[in-house]
Amino acid sequence: MNIFDTYLKKIQNLITANCKILNIESNIKIDGFVIEIPPLEFNFDLSSNVALVLARKTKQSPVKLAESLKKIIQENLEDFSTIEVAGPGFINFKFSPKMYQNLILDILKSNNEYGSNNKNESYNIEFVSANPTGPMHVGHSRGAIFGDVLANLLVFNGNTVIREYYINDYGNQIANFTESVFLRLREIKYKEKFLKKANLYPGDYVIDIAKKILLKFPQIDLNNFKKNFNFLSNESLKHSMDLIKNDLKSLGVSHDNFVSEKTLVEKNLVKKSIQFLRDKKLVVEGYLNPPKREKNKEWKKTKRLIFKSTLFGDDTDRALQKDDGSWTYFANDIAYHSDKTSRNYNYLVNILGADHTGYIKRITAATKALSDNKTILICKVCQLVKLFKNGQPYKMSKRAGDFISVREFLDEVDKDSIRFMMLNRSNDVELDFDFDKVREKTRDNPVFYVQYSYARISSLFRVLKKNIKDNFEIDEKNFHLNEPELHLFRKILDWPKVIETASSKFEPHRIPFYLYELATLFHSYWSKGNQDPKYKFIVNEKIKNINTLLIIKLVSLTIENGMKILGVNLPTKM
């Protein structure tokens, strides 16, 4: 139920049907105008710039055009009690009492689907995809929560979503990780000192993995690393992925698919994908110019397979082979995206870390080439998270090695606060996470403020001895909404538009922003009752106006739907 789309279409139809009266061409393109809720000080429910847009196209006076439109709308729509032309030609609308009642009933009827615009697209969202060489760190948690909430948002808006984790279980970092586990195994079994050399993983979690392997396989052969590499690698990765999955679960994050890079390589999908592009003359043998940073150094010119990435908007063509002829990481990634495009999603969404910004153009180019421009790839980058405690940067964990683990993060603050606050800034800006602020029970702590509004509503229904899920009849004869209730109701009407914008722009941070604003309006109304008796909800444990209760119920319903998207709990007592 999106009233903005509804009235946009109604006004478009009225304009088309009254072209002669409005002195406009019958084939004029009626687009580019908006319907929105005006600022509070205007005290109207809707506002439109339609006359201004049409005036620019037809060279007419926007005010005169607005007056003509006002008359047409008044004659054809009974939904409004007042229509006013304001300023340079804006048209402002106020609903009739009957329309208010109809809208309230429609929202209550839609219940936990209120806000959904009933889209029907298919999405594959790949997120986290951390190297399976240890537990998750705080940087991973932002991308994990962003991806999970984006998936929730798109599902709520009526879409089908597959949540996918791409396991980078192939290459040098896996060999280094496996060697680290091997050396820890020898350290435990033979009391050998763990070697400190570059590229090994020194964290204590590697000792835990080694202990688990030794417990399960006490007779494991530790004399020949190369001979037992595959076995050790598989066991190490299994335990490491268990760590990651447990970390994700503790954050309330889950995936539908786990796709293995190693399996794609073993299935020969890299060669097949490269050959597919080669057949389309998009992969050629040739030479690349030296990277800019190599210009003043000796650089070996090597013939290799090159993807013609510049044909699809990239800055430069990309190598698919290393100097030794083996595949680059990008070549393996092409295979993975070939696999994804073959599954026929409308959209692929990649959630990337801050260090992957430069990777976007090449993988977007590859997806276009693989799908003949039919599959749309959207890449969203999650910037860094900086942690603060007692006004100081939070120190890294010794146990983890060289990062702050999700486990350590969760020891400091609860899952709900982490999920909400990780979305309290747009993904493309750095986020400062202050442990002290998150523990505050004030309006400066957004997650507390939203949860507290719901707890207050729950307490209100407890005092009235009513169930918030019950149905309540509108008092039609005495229907009236006071100023704070109108403000709340207009904010509630904005919810489907917030959902649609957040979904179409892949910006789930709009949800906590909106919820905080709605909670602020509710707390303001609650405080008014303490300051002025005429705004009190309850007198002698009875509701003064049943219509007030209905508006408050709409607030609770909207907060429930929003927090469900965020994956954040709503306590009824605080």
Q: Say which residues have a Cβ less than 8 Å from residue 83's Cβ, sequence separation at least 6.
A: 70, 73, 74, 91, 92, 93, 94
Is the domain of 537 the same as that of 454? yes
Is the domain of 161 the same as that of 176? no
Is the domain of 373 the same as that of 281? yes
Identify the CATH number of the domain in which residue 547 sits: 1.10.730.10
Is the domain of 156 the same as that of 178? no
The Cα 530–Cα 532 span in angstroms is: 6
Is the domain of 455 the same as that of 539? yes
The Cα 240–Cα 244 span in angstroms is: 6
In a domain, 539, yes or no: yes
Last residue of a domain, one of 365, 382, 399: 382
Secondary structure element (H or E) that encloses residue 228, with its range: none
Q: What is the CA radius of gyration of the chain?
A: 29
The predicted structure's pLDDT at residue 470: 86
In a domain, 115, yes or no: no
Is the domain of 297 the same as that of 227? no
The full DSSP string for 248-301 is HHHTT---SEEEEHHHHHHTTHHHHHHHHHHHTT-EEEE-PPPPGGGTTS----
pLDDT, tens only, 447-457: 999 999 999 99
The predicted structure's pLDDT at residue 400: 45
Secondary structure element (H or E) that encloses residue 476, with its range: none
The predicted structure's pLDDT at residue 553: 96
Cβ–Cβ < 8 Å for 406, 245: no
Identify the CATH number of the domain in which residue 153 sits: 3.40.50.620
Other CB atoms within 10 Å distance of the CB of residue 359 = 17
- SS3 of residue 518 by DSSP: helix
Is the domain of 358 the same as that of 310? yes
Backbone angles phi, psi at 379, to 5 degrees: -110, 130
The predicted structure's pLDDT at residue 1: 72
Is the domain of 236 the same as that of 334? no
The Cα 399–Cα 478 span in angstroms is: 66
Q: Say which residues have a Cβ less than 8 Å from residue 61's Cβ, sequence separation at least 6.
A: 55, 89
In a domain, 486, yes or no: yes
The Cα 445–Cα 519 span in angstroms is: 12
In the chain, how many domains are there? Answer: 4
In a domain, 435, yes or no: no
Last residue of a domain, one of 234, 250, 266: 250
Burial class from Cβ neighbours inside 10 Å (0-12, 13-18, 19+) for residue 158 reads middle
Burial class from Cβ neighbours inside 10 Å (0-12, 13-18, 19+) for residue 471 reads exposed
The Cα 159–Cα 138 span in angstroms is: 29
Cβ–Cβ < 8 Å for 516, 450: yes
Question: Which residues constitute the domain of residue 482?
Answer: 442-566
The predicted structure's pLDDT at residue 562: 98
Tell me the pairing of strands 347-353 and 122-126: parallel
pTM for this prediction: 0.92
List the chain residues with pLDDT less than 70: 291-299, 395-402
**30-65 core/surface letters (b: 16 or more CB in 10 A; e: else):** beebebebbeeeeebbbbbbbbbbbbeeeebebbeb
The predicted structure's pLDDT at residue 298: 63
The Cα 115–Cα 100 span in angstroms is: 17
In a domain, 291, yes or no: yes
Strands annotated E in 364-427? 376-382, 385-389, 392-393
Using CA atoms, how far residue 46 sits from 49, 61, 200, 340, 521, in Å, is 11, 22, 62, 43, 18
The Cα 304–Cα 284 span in angstroms is: 8
The predicted structure's pLDDT at residue 401: 52
Cβ–Cβ < 8 Å for 312, 343: no
Last residue of a domain, one of 250, 277, 299: 250
Burial class from Cβ neighbours inside 10 Å (0-12, 13-18, 19+) for residue 478 reads exposed
Cβ–Cβ < 8 Å for 86, 92: yes
Closest of 177, 379, 171 to residue 260, by C-alpha: 171
The full DSSP string for 324-359 is TSPBPHHHHHHHHHHHHHTT--SEEEEEEEGGGGGG
In a domain, 215, yes or no: yes
Owner of token pair 């900086």: 386
The Cα 416–Cα 424 span in angstroms is: 12
Cβ–Cβ < 8 Å for 137, 174: no
Q: Which amino acid is at 86?
A: A
Closest of 567, 448, 112 to residue 456, by C-alpha: 448
Per-residue DSSP letter, 375: S
Counting Cα atoms < 13 Å in the Cβ hemisphere of 539 gives 10
Is the domain of 366 the same as that of 298? yes
Cβ–Cβ < 8 Å for 206, 236: no
pLDDT, tens only, 98-146: 999 999 999 999 988 999 988 889 999 999 998 899 888 888 999 999 9
The predicted structure's pLDDT at residue 294: 54
DSSP alpha helix (H) spans, 157-268: 172-190, 204-216, 229-250, 261-266
The predicted structure's pLDDT at residue 295: 55
Using CA atoms, how far residue 168 sits from 144, 296, 429, 572, in Å, is 16, 34, 26, 42
Cβ–Cβ < 8 Å for 136, 247: yes
Is the domain of 287 the same as that of 157? yes
Per-residue DSSP letter, 40: G
Is the domain of 267 the same as that of 315? yes
Identify the CATH number of the domain in which residue 13 sits: 3.30.1360.70
In a domain, 540, yes or no: yes
Is the domain of 154 the same as that of 300? yes
In a domain, 262, yes or no: yes
